[in-house]
Amino acid sequence: MGQIGELLTRIRKKKDLSLREVEQATKIRIKYLEALEQENFNELPGEVYVIGFLRTYCRYLGLEADVIVEEYKKQFGKPEKPEEEIEPSSSYSGKKLPYKLVISIVLGVILLFLVGSLLISKMYFQSQPASAPTTNEKTLKETDNPIENQASQGSQPKDNSQGNNVQTPATGNSSVPVSQVVSVKLEIAKGKCWVKVTSDEQVVFTGTLEGPFVKEFTAKNKIRIVFGNAGVVKLYRDGQNIGKIGEMGEVVTKVFDRD
């Protein structure tokens, strides 16, 4: 395993992500993810797919995609071949090709072009990866999780302290007293941070957030949060500032249980 594959594997494991989770988020098949981590690039359909998948995977992990793609091109990219000059044949007789032969050649070329285009289009749309969460994505996506469904129905008040119109997901029956739940507020004043939130053993959010951002998560029993850049995050437990949780670029996992 080379430097690129080792980096991808190490960061994925630090963020507590399985290949199945990465496949669901990026729409890149597991066998291609394994090929990228093992640097078996010849297992992918072509160099354009290697670069596209590598760029998508790096962005999802919060890495500098352009830098890693350039490193791949330096180590594994195929050099462009200079065009060979074709000298005119001295034996050219100056005779014109028969009209029917010219038409046949032209039709054959057009047919090959159409068939090739259809095959390439089919392969492209089957293998096209989904866009990784962008750094400007500040609104949590709705899921089938009952916690987020209640949030989409407006069962919790909105937190507009930083201008982000994001509803707080509920973790159960809305009649449960606040004192009987775990409440954690996440605040990012400036910068970016990859975050994975698990509420009562259910993943309710995973993606990259960018400040200014404020969000409160609640659960009946336990909240587990993984931060990819802990230095830009402030945490509040039941309204109390927890303090500094890590350094810039440090991966930190925090677990909060109900008292």
- Identify the CATH number of the domain in which residue 64 sits: 1.10.260.40
Q: Are residues 74 and 21 in the same domain?
A: yes
Alpha-carbon dihedral of residues 169, 170, 171, 177, nearest 10 degrees?
150
Q: Are residues 125 and 162 in the same domain?
A: no
pLDDT band at residue 166, thresholds of 50, 70 and 90?
A: very low
Q: Are residues 113 and 200 in the same domain?
A: no
Q: Are residues 74 and 186 in the same domain?
A: no
Q: Are residues 219 and 122 in the same domain?
A: no
Taking CA atoms, 241 is separated from 22, 52, 230, 244, in Å, by 32, 41, 15, 9
Q: Are residues 219 and 112 in the same domain?
A: no
For residue 48, tell me if it sits in a domain. Answer: yes
Has residue 44 got a pLDDT over 50? yes
* Mean pLDDT for all residues in the chain: 76
Q: Which residues of 155-167 are buried (b: 16+ CB within 10 A; e: fewer)?
A: ebeebeeeebebb
Q: Taking the CB of residue 216, how many other CB atoms lie within 10 A of it?
A: 18
Number of domains the chain is built from:
2
Has residue 142 got a pLDDT over 80? no
Sheet holding 182-188, edge to edge: 213-219, 182-188, 233-237, 240-241
Which of 156, 154, 145, 135 is closest to 210 using CA atoms? Answer: 135
For residue 139, tell me if it sits in a domain. Answer: no
Q: Are residues 33 and 62 in the same domain?
A: yes
Given 88, 107, 132, the domain boundary residue is: 132
Q: Are residues 126 and 174 in the same domain?
A: no
For residue 73, tell me if it sits in a domain. Answer: yes
* Peptide bond preceding 133 in cis form (omega within 30 of 0): no
For residue 38, tell me if it sits in a domain. Answer: yes
Q: Are residues 158 and 216 in the same domain?
A: yes
CA atoms within 13 A on the CB side of 97: 8
Task: State the DSSP code for 231.
Answer: G
For residue 140, tell me if it sits in a domain. Answer: no
Concatenate the DSSP letters of all residues of 41-85 into one string: GGGSS-HHHHHHHHHHHHHHHT--HHHHHHHHHHHHPPPPPPPPP
Mean pLDDT over residues 199-221, rounded? 90
Q: Are residues 115 and 152 in the same domain?
A: no
Domain coverage including residue 187? 146-257
For residue 159, tell me if it sits in a domain. Answer: yes
Whole-number pLDDT of residue 198 = 96
Termini Cα distance of the chain? 45
For residue 123, tell me if it sits in a domain. Answer: yes
Has residue 99 got a pLDDT over 60? yes
Q: pLDDT tens digit string along 217-226?
A: 998 889 999 9
Whole-model pTM? 0.34
Q: Are residues 4 and 116 in the same domain?
A: yes
For residue 90, tell me if it sits in a domain. Answer: no
Q: Are residues 128 and 179 in the same domain?
A: no
Which of 188, 157, 197 is closest to 174 using CA atoms? Answer: 157
Which tokens in the block code for residue 113? 């072009």
